[in-house]
Amino acid sequence: MKRAAQLYATQPLRAAAGTPLMRAAEETAPSQDPKTLTNLPADSAIFFQNFIPSEAGDTLGFSTMYDVDLLEYFVGNTITQIQTIVPDGASHGTLWILDPNHPTDTLFRASVPQDCPKGEPVLFSCGYKIDSLRLLQVGLTLVFEESMPDDSYLQVPIVPCNRNGAFLVLDTKVSSEQYYDYTYMRYMLYGDPHLCYGFYLNCITEGEAGLKPYEIKLDDVTHTRAYIGEEEATFSIGITNYGYMGIPSAKLRCKLGDLTEDIDFNKSLGYMYYGYIETDLPTPREAVRVPLTAQIIEVAGQDVSAEQSPESGSITMVSPSLSVLRRAVMEEFTGGWCGWCPRGSRAIELLSEKYGDSFIPIAIHQGDDLQSDDFLYVLSNYGSNGFPGFSMNRLFTGDPYYGSGQYGGGDLGVTHDIDHVAVLPCEADLEITDCTLDAQGTAIQVTTATSFSIDCNTAPYKLVYVLTEDSLQVAQSNYYSTAYGGSTDSTPDDLDYLVSLPGKYWAEANHVARSMTAPTGIEGSISAPIVKGETQTYTYTVPVSDNVANLANSNLVVLLLDSDTGEILNADAMSLHTVSGLKPIQAGDAPQVSVVAGRLCVSGTSARVAVYNAAGQQVVQRTVDGQAAFRLPAGCYVVRTVQADGMHTAKVLVP
C-alpha cells in the first residue's frame, strides 16, 4: 500500500458494515481506457458502504483528489463527462471541480437534479479543460431535505483503491469546511490493504491522454534502521502502473554501497495499481547511514533504464551500545465534541506518571475552541482512524488508551507501543540546553544539542518546535455516563470515574497543541556532514503564539525529524514555568538565580552570566536580558552575574 505520510481517516463519521460486491474483479489485469482520468483501477469492483441515515437538512460531500503525478498525462484535455453514482435518499446536489489550494475558485459546477437516476452509474456533461498542471478535487455534494428511516442506510458507492485522498467525506453535522479522508479507514481498522476505499468517480476526456501502454514508476524505497550485527535487512520498493496496459513483469536494479542486485517483479499489475517488492540485502558493518537506490531497468521485457531515474532509500546501522533511548512522542487527536475522548486525556495522565520525561504528549484538538490550524498538517498526514486517536512518533497510529493493537492491547495497552518505540535503533540524542524568554514574553530563544552515533555525508534530519499549554478548559462530551448506564462493571478500572461524570462537563485540558514552527522541519537546523561522536548545537527563536493564555502553564517541545521518512526520531521538552515562573524584572533589579524543575534559572537586565561547576570549570557563559534556563548535570554550582548595578554571586545546588 502507498501509505507513507498519507491522510488517514480522522473522524468516526457514521460508517457501518458494507454490502456485498456488485461485481467481482477480474483475475488478470485489464487495459484502461486512456481517455479516462480516474484514481480507480480498471477492474474496480463496486461496493456500497452503509452510512447511518442522513437527517433532514444534512449535507454530505464526497470527492476524490487527482494528484499532479496523474494529471500530467491529461493537461490540455477537456473533461467532457463525469461518471458517478448518486446515492438513494439525496434530494438534489451539485457536481463540481476545484483546485483545493484555491477552494473559493470553483472551476466547474453543475446541478444534480432530484429526478436523476440513483444507485447506478450515470454520466453528467462537463466541459472543463485541464489547462495547467495542478491538484484537482472533483466531488459531489448532496442535500437531504427529508430524514431517512431509522432502519435504512445511505449507501455510498466505493471501490478498492490505494490513492491518497481517493475517498474524501464532508459531513455538515461535523464540520462545514473540513473534508476527512476515509481512503484508508478499512485498512486502519482491519489491517487488510484490499479494504481501502475510493469514491466511485471517473472523468472522461475528449482525446487520448499521454498514457503509454507500459509505464511504471517507483513510488518509495524504504528507509531501514538496524543494529550492527544484523547481517541482512529487508527493504520494500513500491511501484505504480501508469500505463493503460497491465504490465506482465518488470525488473529492478538495487544498489547499496558497492553491492548491486537485480530483482524480478513477476506479478501482473493493472492501471493505477500499486505493488511492492521486498528483498534482503547485506548490511554495512559500521555505524553509518548509507543510501539505497532502486531503478526500473525492464518493463515487459523491454529495456527502460534510459528513461527511469533511480529512487533513494537508506539503511542506518546503529551500534547497540551507542543506541540512545528514543523518547515516545504521542500526538493525540481529540476534541470536546468526542464523547469517547476523555479516555485519551486519562491515558496521558497515566503514561506521564509511568514514563516521566521519556514520554512527551501533544494533544491536538480538532473541532472545538482549542483547535490550532498549525496542526492540520499532522492531522492530514498522520491522523489515526478515529477520535480519540494517536500517532506515535509518526510511525503508527491507534487508540491513546488501548494502543495500536500492533504491539499489544488490552487495558492501557498503549504502554506496549511506548515500550516498542523505546527499543528501536536510534542514532541521535536531542537535548534542550538553553532557553531564554525575552523581557516582553513574546519570543523564546532555545538552544539544542543533537548528538549522533553514526557517520553520514548528508543531513537528512530537521528540527521542529512545538508549544503546548496546560490547565485550559474545554466543554467535553462524555459517552461513558450513558453507554454504561451508571455501572462500571464493563469499564477498565482506570476509566471507572468517567461513568459518574455527566454527559457534558467542563474538563481541564493539558498538553494542548498551540503552535508548531515549520511542520516539516527547519532547513539547516542539522548540518552536513554528520560525524559520529560529535554534537551539533542550534539556536532558534520561537514566537509565543497569540492563542497561549498563560506562558507559565506552557511547554516547549523540540522534535528531531528524519526528513526522509517524516518520523520523529527523538525529542525533548521542558516546562516554560522554568523560564516564566520568576517574578517580572524591573530595570535596576538585582539578578535572580534559582532552580526550578531541575533547571538553573537566571533573570536579569543585560546581565552577563557565568556558571562554574565544583571543579571551578566554566560551564555557561551568556548574556541574559529577561529570563533564561539551563539544563546542567546534578551538582553544586557558582553563578556570577554582572549588570549595571554591579556583580552578584550565588551558590546553588541542582538536584
Q: Are residues 397 and 510 in the same domain?
A: yes
Answer with the one of 205, 230, 249 that is the final residue of a domain.
205
Taking the C-alpha atoms of residue 86 and residue 122, their distance in angstroms, rounded to an integer, is: 8
Taking the C-alpha atoms of residue 621 and residue 297, their distance in angstroms, rounded to an integer, is: 58
Phi, psi of 320 (to 5 degrees): -55, -35
User: Is pLDDT larger for residue 606 or for residue 534?
Assistant: 534
Residues β-bridged to residue 260: 255
Using 50, 70 and 90 to split pLDDT, how confident is the model at 407? confident
Question: Is-contact 628 434, C-beta < 8 A?
Answer: yes
Residue 524 burial (C-beta neighbours within 10 Å; 0-12, 13-18, 19+): exposed
Q: Are residues 188 and 230 in the same domain?
A: no
In terms of Cα–Cα distance, which of 448, 332, 452, 335 is closest to 382? 332
Taking the C-alpha atoms of residue 263 and residue 266, their distance in angstroms, rounded to an integer, is: 10
The answer to the question of residue 487 being in a domain is: yes
pLDDT above 90: percentage of residues in the chain? 34
The answer to the question of residue 485 being in a domain is: yes
- Determine the Cα angle at 473 with ends 560 and 437, to 5°: 45
Q: Are residues 587 and 568 in the same domain?
A: no
The arithmetic mean of pLDDT across residues 518-539, rounded, is 94
Provide the residue range defining the domain that includes 309: 216-318
The answer to the question of residue 78 being in a domain is: yes
Span 88-145, pLDDT tens digits: 878 888 999 999 888 888 999 999 988 888 888 899 999 999 989 999 999 999 888 7
Phi-psi region of 595 (alpha: psi -120 to 50; beta: other; left: phi over 0): beta
Q: Are residues 297 and 364 in the same domain?
A: no
- The CATH number assigned to the domain holding 611 equals 2.60.40.3080
Phi, psi of 347 (to 5 degrees): -60, -40
Question: Is-contact 305 358, C-beta < 8 A?
Answer: no
Q: What is the pLDDT of residue 590?
A: 72
The answer to the question of residue 2 being in a domain is: no
Residue 567 burial (C-beta neighbours within 10 Å; 0-12, 13-18, 19+): buried
Q: Are residues 534 and 613 in the same domain?
A: no
Q: What is the pLDDT of residue 11?
A: 30
The answer to the question of residue 463 being in a domain is: yes
Q: Are residues 116 and 173 in the same domain?
A: yes
Q: Are residues 442 and 541 in the same domain?
A: yes
N- to C-terminal Cα separation, the chain: 50
Q: What is the pLDDT of residue 512?
A: 96
Task: Check pLDDT > 50 for residue 322.
Answer: yes
Q: What is the pLDDT of residue 208?
A: 67
Answer with the one of 575, 598, 626 that is the final residue of a domain.
575
Span 9-52, pLDDT tens digits: 223 333 333 333 333 333 455 677 778 888 887 667 787 777 66
**pTM score, whole prediction:** 0.74
Q: Are residues 399 and 515 in the same domain?
A: yes
**Which range, of 196-205, 268-277, 547-556, averages the lowest pLDDT?**
268-277
Taking the C-alpha atoms of residue 196 and residue 187, their distance in angstroms, rounded to an integer, is: 6
Answer with the one of 505, 540, 575 that is the final residue of a domain.
575
Question: Is-contact 392 417, C-beta < 8 A?
Answer: yes
Q: What is the pLDDT of residue 349?
A: 95
Q: Are residues 237 and 172 in the same domain?
A: no
Phi, psi of 364 (to 5 degrees): -95, 110
Q: What is the pLDDT of residue 413?
A: 92
Question: Is-contact 244 6, C-beta < 8 A?
Answer: no
pLDDT above 70: percentage of residues in the chain? 88
Q: What is the pLDDT of residue 592?
A: 82
Phi, psi of 509 (to 5 degrees): -105, 125
Number of domains, the chain:
4
User: Is pLDDT larger for residue 52 or for residue 225?
Assistant: 225
The answer to the question of residue 323 being in a domain is: no
Q: Are residues 487 and 611 in the same domain?
A: no
Span 327-349, pLDDT tens digits: 999 999 999 988 999 999 999 99
**Which range, of 53-67, 150-164, 244-258, 582-596, averages the lowest pLDDT?**
582-596
Averaged confidence pLDDT in the chain: 83
Positive/negative CA dihedral, 529, 535, 540, 544? positive
Q: Are residues 489 and 399 in the same domain?
A: yes
According to DSSP, the β-strands at 201-205 and 78-85 are antiparallel
The answer to the question of residue 210 being in a domain is: no
Positive/negative CA dihedral, 164, 170, 174, 176? positive
The arithmetic mean of pLDDT across residues 490-507, rounded, is 88
Q: What is the pLDDT of residue 8?
A: 25
Most confident of 107-121, 251-265, 350-364, 473-487: 350-364
- The CATH number assigned to the domain holding 309 equals 2.60.40.10
The Cα diameter of the chain in Å comes to 88
Q: What is the pLDDT of residue 244?
A: 80
Q: Are residues 477 and 335 in the same domain?
A: yes
Q: What is the pLDDT of residue 169?
A: 84
